[in-house]
A and B are shown apart, each in its own frame.
Chain A
Amino acid sequence: MSTVARGVKNAYRNTVRTVSIVLILAISFALALVMLLSVQAVNTRTASVSAAVGTTITVTPAGSQGFNGGGNPLTTADITKISSTKNVVSVASSVSDRLSNSSSTSPFGGSATGGKTNLKSSISPGSLGRRFGGGNGANGGAPPANFSLPITITGSTQPLSATILAAQSVTLTSGKSVDGSSSTYTADIGKSLATKNTLKVGSTFTAYSKTFTVVGIFDTKSTFSNSEIVVPLKTLQTLSGINGVTTVIANVSTINVLSTTATSIQSNLGTNVASVTTGQTNNASIISSLNSIKTIALYSLIGALVAGSTILFLSMLMIVRERRREIGILKAFGSSNGGVVRLFVAEAMTLTGMGAAAGVILGILLSNPVLKVLVNNSSTTPTTGGFGGRPPGGGGFGNPVGFGSSTLSSLHAAVGINVLIFGVIAAIIIAFVGSAIPSYIIAKVRPAEVLRGE
């Protein structure tokens, strides 16, 4: 029987003690694992929220809110001020208008210069749409026979920008993007609108009494922005008669300067001219809640590991002291100090291994329930969607694409191989340190000292 085999065998010498130590270690490991998984889940979610916040700043006319009116368009001078602000690396400007169906009588209007199109919106009006569209009764009665919801048309220097379309992503499914700097009558149209009106790349439609050619069809995975038209900025400015832009998206170099740059832009333009927002502003509470969960989890993780190490250290100290005479006997028959240490390390490894195995199973079972408890106790999340929706000046129908209360409630802990590797390494370190130190101290005694007592 080798030293290691004897060490393993020694772990089972006292059943009650073995079960007790393994149980305590299992709870400690389970808690550490749960907290590690929580930290990882929070880190992942924080990264995704930060990524969604991005490095963009949205500037809209002060006092405006979508198509509800108010405010004056931002001018070329305003855009110059924005683009010259420190840390701003690029700007994209856009203006939005709404087109009504040329055969429809809708109170949603169109522009003063007559925003009409032969296209029909792909969005179903519903009872609210019928009500606002002129239907009778509280929930809207029968709408006008030719009623169609207005279609948002956006002119932009960056036509397929996800931020301008208030989408998380934009994919060109066919054709190409329009040239944002041109003045041509070309358009990219949303996938739903194309399907509704049987349009393909190369098809034509009319707007503002002009004939536009479809050059690309895009998909944003959003019902609302998939029903939009995107054209070059100058084209829309000319046709709509809007002298300026309704939204400027400024890109900054890093997320770290997002807040300070937004403040600078606001200061440069003045609060009476522009409203400046970032995704960061809206997500501050979510990030704060995530950080608070992470802090609790980190402290608990450290506490669990320290507790596990201490329990094992004290247990092994007790075991080693109890077996002082046995150590003396082993040394009397020629065991080296290293042999004694190996014996107790093997015993501690066995106890820790059993505790870790039980702890991993317990940890996997408990990780998600505990994470939910942490979320519930730490969350100050608003009850409605956090950020998302069309930039304030960009359009009438907001499009909730961002994060909200679901950001925290959807946190999910998943066990990866790196977590298990961490667990194994932690268990080995805890077992080694917890057993090697006390056994080495005892192993150094002279055998006569511990055998003299008989």
Chain B
Amino acid sequence: MIEVKNITKEFQTGNSPVTAVDDVSFSIEDGQFASIVGTSGSGKSTLLSMLGGLDKPSSGSVRVDDQVISSGSDRDLISYRRNKIGFVFQAFNLIPNLKAVENVMLPMEFAGVPKAERRSRAVELLDQVGVTGEKQNRRPSRLSGGEQQRVAIARALANKPRVILADEPTGNLDTKTGKVIFSMLKDLSRSANTTVIIVTHDMNYAEKTDVTFRLEDGHLVA
């Protein structure tokens, strides 16, 4: 279960502070497919960063299962990200000089999974998301946008995370491919009891999730 209590995030822009997320509280049950919607600059990506341990809130707390990540040390956050979280980014963020299969193996390397096991699981995951055969040995630049996002999803699943955080996962894809990726994430929450939280500004996708949080100027409005 994810429990967010009164979190606020402030940035210093020049001489004036900017509150990107302002006193936000909510909770998400295990295995739920949730969405965070809002206009550009509403603070949804910042909120996602704090849920994923990529950043710390200025105040408030984030609890994931029994772990309070908002007050954890850098070492704790690294361990949290490595073992409990899988990220999917809008721009895919694959390592350009690694093959698809090597990109998927990367999080497992950080988790200390033996090399042979890493490779077989990476191949299995890529097969699962539909990147098969010799495409698994291609570098990202030789894959389509949809294929790259599939590789990114496989990478996010590498360490069997409890939570998948997807920041605008369909943002760089055409409508048809976007739908396929969205379905893939939804199936994931259903089949593996993985909590999936996606950030989107597309209400068509948001309406198909179990729960939606709307952010406006850093405030949660629904």
- The residue on B at minimum CB distance from A9 is B97
- B212 interface residue, CB < 8 Å from A? no
Stretch at the interface among B63-71, B88-96, B173-181, B188-196: B88-96
Q: Which residues of B contact A256 (CB under 8 A)?
A: none
- A339 interface residue, CB < 8 Å from B? yes
> Are B159 and A334 touching (Cβ within 8 A)?
yes
- The residue on B at minimum CB distance from A453 is B91
- A109–B99 Cα distance when bound, in Å, is 98
- Please tell me which one of the listed residues A3, A329, A336, A448 contacts residue B78 in the complex, with CB atoms under 8 A apart: A336
> Are A451 and B89 touching (Cβ within 8 A)?
yes
> Are A333 and B90 touching (Cβ within 8 A)?
no
B93-111 near A? 1/0 per residue, CB < 8 Å: 1011110001001110111
Could you tell me the distance in whole angstroms from the C-beta of A140 to the nearest C-beta in chain B?
Answer: 85
- The residue on A at minimum CB distance from B93 is A329
Q: Which residues of A contact B211 (CB under 8 A)?
A: none
- Please tell me which one of the listed residues A325, A333, A452 contacts residue B107 in the complex, with CB atoms under 8 A apart: A333
- The residue on A at minimum CB distance from B165 is A332
Q: Which residues of B contact A81 (CB under 8 A)?
A: none
Which A1-51 residues have C-beta < 8 A from chain B? 1-3, 6, 9-10, 13
- The residue on B at minimum CB distance from A14 is B97
> Are A333 and B87 touching (Cβ within 8 A)?
yes
Could you tell me the distance in whole angstroms from the C-beta of A2 to the nearest C-beta in chain B?
Answer: 7
- A251–B55 Cα distance when bound, in Å, is 79
- B219 interface residue, CB < 8 Å from A? no
Could you tell me the distance in whole angstroms from the C-beta of B21 to the nearest C-beta in chain A?
Answer: 12
Contact A331/B97 with A339-B110, A448-B55, A451-B54 known, Cβ cut-off 8 Å: no
Contact A334/B105 with A448-B49, A448-B54 known, Cβ cut-off 8 Å: no
- A1–B91 Cα distance when bound, in Å, is 24
- The residue on A at minimum CB distance from B172 is A454
- A178–B45 Cα distance when bound, in Å, is 102
**Taking each of B55, B56, B83, which has the highest tally of chain A beta carbons within 10 Å of its own beta carbon?**
B55
> Are B110 and A334 touching (Cβ within 8 A)?
yes
Interface size on A, residues (CB 8 A): 26
Which B74-93 residues have C-beta < 8 A from chain A? 74-75, 78-79, 81-83, 87, 89-91, 93
- A446 interface residue, CB < 8 Å from B? yes
Interface size on B, residues (CB 8 A): 32
- A6–B103 Cα distance when bound, in Å, is 11
- B31 interface residue, CB < 8 Å from A? no
Could you tell me the distance in whole angstroms from the C-beta of B115 to the nearest C-beta in chain A?
Answer: 8
Could you tell me the distance in whole angstroms from the C-beta of B12 to the nearest C-beta in chain A?
Answer: 12
> Are A334 and B107 touching (Cβ within 8 A)?
yes
- A339–B75 Cα distance when bound, in Å, is 12
Which A308-366 residues have C-beta < 8 A from chain B? 325-326, 329-337, 339
- B38 interface residue, CB < 8 Å from A? no
- A447 interface residue, CB < 8 Å from B? yes
Contact A332/B91 with A1-B98, A452-B45 known, Cβ cut-off 8 Å: no
- B44 interface residue, CB < 8 Å from A? no
> Are A332 and B45 touching (Cβ within 8 A)?
no
- A6–B95 Cα distance when bound, in Å, is 11
> Are B54 and A334 touching (Cβ within 8 A)?
no
Could you tell me the distance in whole angstroms from the C-beta of A341 to the nearest C-beta in chain B?
Answer: 14
- B186 interface residue, CB < 8 Å from A? no
- A411–B192 Cα distance when bound, in Å, is 77
> Are B82 and A333 touching (Cβ within 8 A)?
yes
- B52 interface residue, CB < 8 Å from A? yes
- Please tell me which one of the listed residues B55, B79, B96, B110 contacts residue A333 in the complex, with CB atoms under 8 A apart: B110
- B150 interface residue, CB < 8 Å from A? no
Contact A454/B55 with A333-B107, A333-B110 known, Cβ cut-off 8 Å: no
Could you tell me the distance in whole angstroms from the C-beta of B197 to the nearest C-beta in chain A?
Answer: 15
Contact A332/B81 with A1-B109, A447-B54, A448-B49 known, Cβ cut-off 8 Å: yes
- The residue on A at minimum CB distance from B89 is A454
- A6–B89 Cα distance when bound, in Å, is 22
Which A409-454 residues have C-beta < 8 A from chain B? 446-449, 451-452, 454
> Are A325 and B93 touching (Cβ within 8 A)?
yes
Which B20-65 residues have C-beta < 8 A from chain A? 45-46, 49, 52, 54-56
> Are A334 and B91 touching (Cβ within 8 A)?
no
- B162 interface residue, CB < 8 Å from A? no
**Taking each of B74, B96, B159, which has the highest tally of chain A beta carbons within 10 Å of its own beta carbon?**
B74
Q: Which residues of A contact B97 (CB under 8 A)?
A: 9-10, 13
- The residue on A at minimum CB distance from B110 is A334
Contact A329/B95 with A334-B82, A448-B49, A454-B89 known, Cβ cut-off 8 Å: yes
Q: Which residues of A contact B105 (CB under 8 A)?
A: 1
- A144–B183 Cα distance when bound, in Å, is 123
Q: Which residues of A contact B75 (CB under 8 A)?
A: 336
Q: Which residues of B contact A1 (CB under 8 A)?
A: 98, 102, 105, 109
- Please tell me which one of the listed residues A13, A332, A337 contacts residue B52 in the complex, with CB atoms under 8 A apart: A332
Between A and B, 12 residue pairs with Cβ closer than 8 Å are: A1-B102, A3-B109, A9-B97, A330-B106, A332-B52, A332-B81, A334-B110, A334-B159, A447-B55, A451-B49, A452-B45, A454-B89
Binding site for B on A (CB under 8 A): 1-3, 6, 9-10, 13, 325-326, 329-337, 339, 446-449, 451-452, 454
User: Which 7 A-B pairs have CB atoms at the shortest separation, nearest pair first?
Assistant: A334-B82, A448-B55, A334-B110, A448-B54, A448-B49, A333-B107, A447-B54
Known: A330-B95, A334-B107, A334-B111. 5 other contacts (CB 8 A): A10-B97, A332-B54, A333-B81, A335-B110, A448-B46
